[in-house]
C-alpha cells in the first residue's frame, strides 16, 4: 500500500521536531507541539475574557447584559466600530510584544497572530481586508520589519482574508506616543496616515480590520480608521494582540 500524503506530513513533522524540538515560545521548556506556551506560561497571560466593552474591547468589572459598553465608550466613542484584543498589555503578554518588536523574534508573530485570529473571529467573519498599522519609513528601517504586518500575515493565513500591506501609509514621522497626554497624542497623529491612491478601489466599500500589536489609547486606531473611512471604507474594526486596560 502506498503511504498517504498524511503519513508523509507526519513523518516530515517528526523529522523537523528531531532537529528543532518543540519548545515553549516564552521560556523554552520542552513541549509536545510547536508554537505554543507551556501550561505555566499560559497561566501568566492576562487573557481578556467576558465581559468586555463592545466598542473598545477593554475588560469590564461587571456584566451589564446585552449592551456592554464602558463609560468611555458612551462618553467618547471611538472612530472604529469595535476593537478586540487577546490580552491586557501586562505580564507575559507584554514580554511577547517586546520580543516581537525589539527582540527580533519574528517567529512569535505566527503564534500571536493565531491567537488574534481566534479572538477576532467575530469581526474577521465580516471582514474583506486586513490593514496593518504602518510604521514610518525611518522607524521601519531602524527596526527592519513592521510587527503589525507580520501579525496581519499570520491572521491572513488563518482566516484567508487578504492583506493590504501598502493600503495605509504613514506620511508624517510621529513622535513616540509614550508619555504624551491624550490631546497631545491626537495632535501628534493628525494627518499622520494617508491612504495609498493605488488602493482606492480596494478600500471602496471594504469592511476593514486594522491590525496592530498594542493599543495604548485609541488615538492611533482612530486616526487610521478616519483615513480609511474618508477614502470610502464601509467599516473599520481594530484587532490588536494586547491593550492597555484603560485604553481609550
Ligand atoms: Zn513556558
CA distance 139 to 145: 9
Residue 41 Cα to ligand 1 middle (Å) = 4
Sign (positive or negative) of CA dihedral 139, 195, 86, 68: positive
Residue range 111-158, pLDDT digits in tens? 999 999 999 999 999 999 999 998 865 555 555 578 999 999 999 999
Q: What's the gap in Å between 173 CA and the centre of ligand 1? A: 37
CA distance 207 to 142: 32
Q: Are 72 and 86 in contact (CB under 8 A)?
A: no
Element (H, E) at 84: strand 83-88
- As given in the structure block, the three cell numbers for residue 125 are 467573519
Residue 27 has pLDDT above 70, yes or no: yes
Closest to 218 measured CA to CA, from 19, 47, 15, 58: 58
Q: How far is the CA of 47 from the centre of ligand 1 (A)?
A: 16
Mean pLDDT value of segment 38-64: 91
Q: Tell me which residue of 101, 95, 208, 110 sits closest to 155, measured CA to CA.
A: 110
- Could you read off the pLDDT of 183-208 as tens digits, one per residue? 777 777 777 899 999 999 999 999 99
User: What is the chain's mean pLDDT, rounded?
Assistant: 87
Distance from the alpha carbon of residue 116 to the mean position of ligand 1, in angstroms: 19
User: What share of the chain has pLDDT > 70, as a percent?
Assistant: 84
Amino acid at each position: 500500500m502506498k503511504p498517504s500524503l498524511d503519513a508523509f506530513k507526519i513523518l516530515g513533522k517528526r523529522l523537523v521536531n528531531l532537529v528543532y524540538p518543540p519548545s515553549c515560545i516564552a521560556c523554552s521548556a520542552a513541549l509536545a507541539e510547536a508554537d505554543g506556551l507551556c501550561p505555566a506560561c499560559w497561566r501568566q497571560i492576562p487573557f481578556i475574557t467576558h465581559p468586555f466593552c463592545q466598542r473598545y474591547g477593554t475588560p469590564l468589572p461587571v456584566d451589564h447584559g446585552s449592551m456592554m459598553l464602558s463609560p468611555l465608550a458612551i462618553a467618547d466613542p471611538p472612530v472604529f466600530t469595535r476593537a478586540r484584543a487577546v490580552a491586557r498589555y501586562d505580564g507575559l503578554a507584554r514580554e511577547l510584544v517586546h520580543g516581537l518588536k525589539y527582540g527580533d523574534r519574528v517567529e512569535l508573530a505566527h503564534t500571536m497572530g493565531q491567537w488574534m485570529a481566534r479572538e477576532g473571529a467575530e469581526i474577521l467573519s465580516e471582514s474583506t481586508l486586513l490593514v496593518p498599522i504602518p510604521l514610518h519609513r525611518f522607524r521601519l528601517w531602524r527596526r527592519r520589519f513592521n510587527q503589525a504586518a507580520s501579525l496581519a500575515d499570520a491572521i491572513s493565513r488563518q482566516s484567508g482574508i487578504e492583506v493590504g500591506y501598502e493600503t495605509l501609509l504613514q506620511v508624517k514621522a510621529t513622535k513616540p506616543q509614550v508619555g504624551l497626554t491624550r490631546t497631545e497624542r491626537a495632535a501628534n497623529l493628525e494627518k499622520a496616515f494617508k491612504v495609498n491612491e493605488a488602493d482606492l478601489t480596494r478600500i471602496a466599500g471594504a469592511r476593514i480590520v486594522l491590525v496592530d500589536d498594542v493599543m495604548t489609547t485609541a488615538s492611533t486606531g482612530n486616526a487610521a480608521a478616519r483615513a480609511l473611512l474618508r477614502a470610502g471604507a464601509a467599516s473599520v474594526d481594530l484587532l490588536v494582540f494586547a491593550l492597555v486596560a484603560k485604553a481609550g
